[in-house]
Amino acid sequence: MIKVLFVQSTLEKGGITNHLKSILYHLDRSKFEPVVLCLSKEKSNSDWQAIASLGVQIHQINTSRWESTAHVIKKINNELLVIQPHLIQTFTFRPSYYIGKYFSNQFKTLGVLSSNVIENYKDTYGKIIGKYIANKELKGLSMMHQTIAVANYLLHVFPALKLKAIQNGVPLAIESQFDYLQKAKFKQTLNWKPNENYFVVIGALRKLKNVGFIIDAFLQSNQSEQSNLVIVGAGPQQLHLQKKYHSYTRILFVGQQQNVHNYLMAADAFVSASLSEGMPLSVLEAMTFELPCFLSQIPAHQELQCEANNASGIQLFDLKDQQQLVQLFNHFSPFQHSYTFQTAVQMTQAYQKIYQEIYLNNAAQ
C-alpha cells in the first residue's frame, strides 16, 4: 500500500480542489492510501466535508501567510513524522515551495503545475509580487522528483522543469445527469424562458477572466435583444461589472453557485474570453454537456480544440478583434455537439502510474 499525502493551502472550492476531489474519488484504494494536509485554516467556502465524505483523513496546521518559514517548516515536519507518507503531492504556491525546497531530500515529491503561474499570479497579486510568488513556486517545483503539468502547452512554457503532462479529466458522473433533449426542462428549473437562448460564462470575476470583453461583444450583437448572457461566479470585479451593466436586463449576474452543472445543463452555449488558463475544468464540463463553446484563442483553448475532435463545436476568437466574438454571437444557432475528452478516471489512472513509478524507484534505491 502506497500512502500518498496531498498538500494544499486550503480546500477552498474551485478548480484546484475539484482536481484533487476527482483524484481522490477515483483512486484505487486497494493500492493507495490518500491523506490530505492543509496548511491554513479553512474559510467558509470550503470543500472539507465533501473530501472527508470520501473517507479521506484530513490534517490541518493552521499556518498563515505571514508566519516565518522556519515556523511553518517545523509544523509541516511534525505532521510528516505522524503521517509517514511514501509520496507527497502538492498543488499551488505555498505547498509546492515548502515541500519542494525543504522536504524533497527526505520524501519522494510530486508537484502539479495547474496554470501559467507567471500570468496567473500577476493578475492576482500584481506584477512585482506576482512574479516573486511565481518564481518561488517554480523554484519548489524544480526541486521535486517529478512535476505534472495539467496541459501539454505548459511543457513548452516552462522547459526547465521536469514536466510530464496529464490533462485534467471530467468526472463520468456528470454525463449520467444529462439528456440534451430535456434542455427545456432544465431551463424551467432556473426560471429561464424555454424559447430564448442563454449564453453562460462561468468563473471567478477577475481581470484574467476578461468577462467585460464578453459582455461588450454580446451587447453589440443581434443576440442582445432576444437572448440572455448569464454570468456565474464571484470575485474582485463583480461589483464593478454589476454596476456598469445594471441597466441591461438581459445580462444576468447570478453570483457564485454551489452547482454550476444546473446552468450548463440549461445553457445553449458556453463563452470564455480568458487571457490565460491551465486546462479549464469549466470548459471541459461545458463540452461534457455538449454545448457549443466560444473560446479565446489562447494555448489552453487551442489545445482543447485539437483534442476535442470537433472543430465546429469549439470556435476560437482573437482577443485583439472583438468583432470576431460579435460575429459568433450573430451567427449562433443552438446545436448539440459531441466531443472527445479525457475522463477523471483516465486522469487518475495516469497519476497512479506516476505514483507507482516514483515509489518503485525509491524502493530500488
pLDDT of residue 180: 66
Q: What is the pLDDT of residues 165-207, one digit of tens each?
A: 999 988 755 554 566 678 888 899 999 998 899 999 999 999 9
Domain shared by 56 and 152, yes or no: yes
Q: Please state, for a pLDDT cut of 90, what percent of the chain lies above it.
A: 77
Domain shared by 265 and 315, yes or no: yes
Distance, CA of 23 to CA of 17 (rounded, Å)? 10
For residue 324, give the 3-state DSSP assignment.
helix
Q: What is the edge-to-edge ordering of all strands in the sheet holding 57-60? A: 57-60, 32-38, 2-8, 87-91, 108-113, 146-149, 163-165
Whether residue 365 is predicted with pLDDT greater than 50 in this model: the reply is no
pLDDT of residue 348: 96
Domain of residue 222: give its range: 173-330
Domain count, the chain: 2
Residue whose entry in the numeric block shows the C-alpha cell 449576474: 253
Whether residue 63 is predicted with pLDDT greater than 80 in this model: the reply is yes
Region 306-312: what's the mean pLDDT? 75
Q: What is the pLDDT of residues 5-14, one digit of tens each?
A: 999 999 998 8
pLDDT of residue 44: 84
- Any domain includes 307: yes
Q: What's the chain's Rg over C-alpha atoms?
A: 21
- Any domain includes 355: yes
pTM assigned to the model? 0.89
Domain shared by 186 and 157, yes or no: no
C-alpha cell at 220: 453589440
Measured N-to-C along each axis, helices 344-364 and 15-26 cross at an angle, to the nearest 10 degrees, of 70
Whether residue 36 is predicted with pLDDT greater than 60 in this model: the reply is yes
pLDDT of residue 45: 84
Ranking 211-225, 288-302, 308-322, 346-360 by mean pLDDT, the lowest is 308-322
pLDDT of residue 364: 42
Region 105-126: what's the mean pLDDT? 94
Which residue type sits at 227? S
Residue whose entry in the numeric block shows the C-alpha cell 463563452: 271
Domain shared by 189 and 90, yes or no: no
Domain shared by 69 and 133, yes or no: yes
Q: What is the pLDDT of residues 271-282, one digit of tens each?
A: 999 999 999 989
Domain shared by 210 and 112, yes or no: no
- Any domain includes 104: yes
Domain shared by 98 and 59, yes or no: yes
Domain shared by 154 and 78, yes or no: yes
Domain shared by 57 and 99, yes or no: yes
Whether residue 91 is predicted with pLDDT greater than 50 in this model: the reply is yes
Residue by residue, DSSP assigns 68-103 as -HHHHHHHHHHHHHHH--SEEEEESHHHHHHHHHHH
Domain shared by 156 and 181, yes or no: no
Q: What is the mean pLDDT of the chain?
A: 91
Domain shared by 158 and 211, yes or no: no
Q: Where are the beta strands (DSSP E) in the chain?
A: 2-8, 32-38, 57-60, 87-91, 108-113, 146-149, 163-165, 198-202, 228-232, 251-255, 269-272, 293-296, 314-317
C-alpha cell at 327: 460575429
Distance, CA of 187 to CA of 262 (rounded, Å)? 9
- Any domain includes 335: no
Kindly report the CATH number assigned to the domain that includes residue 98: 3.40.50.2000
Q: Are 228 and 192 in contact (CB under 8 A)?
A: yes
| Cβ within 8 Å of residue 205, ≥6 positions away | 211, 231, 233, 234, 235, 236, 237, 238, 241
pLDDT of residue 179: 66
Domain shared by 290 and 211, yes or no: yes
| Cβ within 8 Å of residue 282, ≥6 positions away | 15, 202, 203, 260, 270, 272
- Any domain includes 151: yes
Q: Are 52 and 58 in contact (CB under 8 A)?
A: yes
- Any domain includes 336: no
Among the listed residues 118, 100, 117, 98, the one whose alpha carbon sits nearest the alpha carbon of residue 109: 100
- Any domain includes 338: no
Which residue type sits at 143? M
Region 18-40: what's the mean pLDDT? 95
Which residue type sits at 172? L
- Any domain includes 337: no
pLDDT of residue 51: 94
pLDDT of residue 307: 83
95 falls in which pLDDT band (50, 70, 90)?
Answer: very high
